[in-house]
Amino acid sequence: MDKSIDTVRSKSEHKGVSLPVVATIQEVEELTNLREFTIRNLIKQGKIIAMRSGNGKHGKYLINLESVRDYLNAPW
């Protein structure tokens, strides 16, 4: 099974409507091989876009995969 950010993104387009593609921290770990600690730090630093779903500290982060791709492809 091909797991890449671009593959996930293409599956989100339906009838010409492009929705933001989001993933949980665990899904981003699988797609990028970044560790949970690193992903959480990138969210706190504002380097990748994420929002919380659910209530309070028990809600899950939903991470914008396009911002992850942009971060990973940024020239350093």
Q: Residues 9-68: pLDDT tens digits?
A: 555 566 677 778 999 999 999 999 999 999 999 999 999 999 999 887 788 999 999 999
Tell me how far apart the alpha carbons of residues 29 and 15 are, in angstroms, rounded to a whole number.
30
Task: Provide the pLDDT for residue 1.
Answer: 45
Tell me how far apart the alpha carbons of residues 25 and 37 are, in angstroms, rounded to a whole number.
10
Task: Provide the pLDDT for residue 73.
Answer: 95
User: What's the pTM?
Assistant: 0.74
